Structure 1
């Protein structure tokens, strides 16, 4: 695999990727801030893909020495987690470099969800910039949802008193989707690292909000062991706080009017809606807000038991659905119709899994 970085201007970088059998395609990343046009931001982007297809990489550009060294750790972790599908590979570049000084900024990825609001609020005094990316949880070609999500992120960043770095990229569709590198379990942390290292002219530290608390950690594309291995001599990548689970995070952010006015948790976006209110993530967030006694402008209340009863809960999410039932009981909420609907949804999901219509 050959990766040839190029620049379309100070705020727009790209790379031409030449893969097996001469297949060639272009990946673009642009921002309202200037970007590092070296080969370094493309290391984390290309490495998981090369590990899956088991080919070496040749970069037509300069790779940061620290990034090159740290990437050994990333390869070790991915190969240990998924030994059947990801194999250590090699890479070369025209030159190596390192940075002695680094930018003073501290960035935090900000999708507008529970994890990012939690980090933005609990580390408010430390964070200097928030980072919004269009092209990861929102398709690059979805202008309607992308514009609405960006408007919400801009408003939230303004209310939090932080400048918003806006990034647009085709990285996920070109690499993760095209090569079937699982976004959640493998690739999204590497994709975030691509953006973080590209922003090295402005940020010396970038925080990736945590997906799971310490006691729930498992192999995942963003992980406290994996995220730091994408760091360079110019940018340290940190995994976010591990002290709070989902419902504890929600309980913390319900006190923030900004979070309750702009929260965006949905990735299914059925019918193009900001939050569809019918998927698992929307339901769990609505339940958490109800348990915390909050009200959210972007998620309606109360929860309709009929809607819950009709939900299909994917096998990987059923344990969390049961945990939500435990939360209802432990917090002393008397919602018999809702509990009955949740149990019915679990039973129905098992039936649909093994006896599909």
Structure 2
């Protein structure tokens, strides 16, 4: 796999970094901040896909020695979990990155329970809330972005943070159609941090898999911090706490009540649909915490049992939740 022609451009007040990956253009862009043309960003995003097709990742720009050294740990874990070959990236030269002058922290922020838990419990100032459009929300879905932007700005203002919208077309690359997003998304998350390393030196990624309920996952406490480089620390936060417990711990926060966004099915422009499996699981957790009626971003408890009955019980988890709600009623 070859990555070449990493370039930077500024047009119509939008900063863009692009590269050619196996003949296809991949780009990241933002109207909010100047992005760094980072070889580590594209190498992070495409390392797991390169292992999946059993090819060495080759890049025509220097790579940071700390990043290269850390990658050995990721190769080992990927081999253990997915039986991928441990093929290290290839580069023509190695060059240490210069550390950014400012010591700022960015948080990858989707508006979900994990993101809010990190924002409220990290313990140090978060300077930037970073939303990546092109993950659950298509990069060109402007109506949903505008609906979310209002909430993002509201949350950021409460914490004295700035917002960064980062758009990318990376999921349109053919390789990402061949591999589960559950496996590849961690490298893309960390790519965002490397692209922002002109303005931050610490990028926080919220855990989605707890240590208690461990399983192979693309963003994981055994992997994420090993994407770090000489000028950027990747911090994986919250793995000691399960997601449902995180939500219970922050459920009474007014900002969470009015801005929580968990729906990934994108059935509505404005936010949560309240009836997909993820929305229902969240509503159940909030109901068990005695908080659901305080959340205007979801339908209330009155319709919850009926909504559970209407969703296919595709997992034992949903059956357990179904029983818990009906017992409570």
Q: Distance in 1 between matches of 2:238 and 2:7?
A: 35
Shift in Å, 1:8: 1.4
SS in structure 2 of the partner of residue 11 of structure 1: strand
Match of 2:145, SS state, is: helix
* Partner Cα separation in structure 1 for residue 236 and residue 324 of structure 2: 26
Q: What is the rounded CA distance, in whole Å, between the counterparts of 2:302 and 2:191 in structure 1? A: 39
Does 2:138 correspond to 1:134?
no
1:260 maps to 257
**Corresponding residue for residue 106 of structure 2:** 107
Rounded Cα–Cα distance in structure 2 between residues aligned with 1:328 and 1:249: 20
CA distance in 2, matches of 1:115, 1:175: 29
SS in 2 for 1:125: coil
Distance 1:125 1:297, change over 3 A: farther
Distance (Å, rounded) in 2 between the aligned partners of 1:327 and 1:157: 35
How much is the aligned-residue C-alpha RMSD, in angstroms? 2.0
In the alignment, what sits opposite 2:154?
155
Tell me if 1:245 matches 2:246.
Answer: no
In the superposition, relative to structure 1, how do residues 128 and 272 fare at CA in structure 2: closer, same or farther (>3 Å)?
A: closer
Deviation at 1:272, TM superposition (A): 4.5
Kindly report which structure 2 residues correspond to 1:192-211, keeping only aligned pairs within 5 A, or say none. 192-211=189-208
Q: Partners of 2:268 and 2:184 in 1: how far apart?
A: 27
- d(CA) in 2 for partners of 1:246, 1:274: 20
C-alpha distance in structure 1 between counterparts of 2:242 and 2:215, whole Å: 14
Task: For residue 249 of structure 1, give the secondary structure of its aligned residue in structure 2.
Answer: helix
TM-score between both structures, scaled by the size of structure 1: 0.84
Matched-pair contact (CA < 8 Å) for 1:7–1:13: yes
1:50 offset after TM fit, Å? 0.8
Contact 1:114 1:250 in 2 (8 A): yes
Aligned counterparts of 1:30 and 1:323: Cα–Cα separation in 2:
43
Q: CA 1:164–1:63 in structure 2 vs 1: closer, same or farther (change >3 Å)?
A: same
Q: Paired residue for 2:317, among 317, 320, 332? A: 320
User: Do 2:280 and 2:307's aligned partners in 1 also have CA atoms closer than 8 Å?
Assistant: no
Secondary structure class of the residue paired with 1:207: strand
- SS where residue 40 of structure 1 aligns? helix
Conservation of the 8 A alpha-carbon contact between 2:251 and 2:257: yes
2:16 to 12, 17, 30: 12
Q: Distance in 1 between matches of 2:226 and 2:219?
A: 11
**Counterpart Cα distance in 2 of 1:310 and 1:326:** 14
Q: Which moved more, 1:118-127 or 1:63-72?
A: 118-127
Compare CA radii of gyration and give the structure with the larger one: 1
Tell whether the 8 Å contact from 2:207 to 2:238 is kept in structure 1 after alignment: yes
* Alignment partner of 2:184 out of 176, 182, 187: 187
- Aligned residues between the structures: 320
Confirm or deny: 8 A CA contact 1:109 1:116 kept in the other structure. Answer: yes
Q: Distance in 1 between matches of 2:163 and 2:39?
A: 25
CA shift, 1:6, in A, is 1.2
Per the alignment, residue 285 of structure 1 pairs with: 282
| Residues 62, 96 of structure 1: 8 Å contact kept | yes
Which one has more relative contact order, counting CA pairs under 8 Å at least 6 apart? 2
Question: Deviation string for 1:57-77 (max 9, x for gaps)?
Answer: 221212111111111211111
Mean CA deviation greater in 131-140 or 252-261 = 252-261
- Normalised to the residue count of structure 2, the TM-score between the two structures is 0.90
Q: CA deviation at 1:175?
A: 5.6
- For the residue of structure 1 that corresponds to 2:111, the secondary structure is coil
Helix, strand or coil at the partner of 1:8: strand
Query: Which whole-Å CA distance do the structure 2 matches of 1:212 and 1:91 have between them?
Result: 27
Task: Say which SS state the counterpart of residue 39 (structure 2) adopts.
Answer: coil
2:266 counterpart residue number: 269
1:113-124 alignment to 2 at 5 Å? Answer: 113-123=112-122
SS of the equivalent of 1:16 reads strand
Unaligned runs of 5+ in 1: 19-23, 336-357
The match for 2:89 is 91
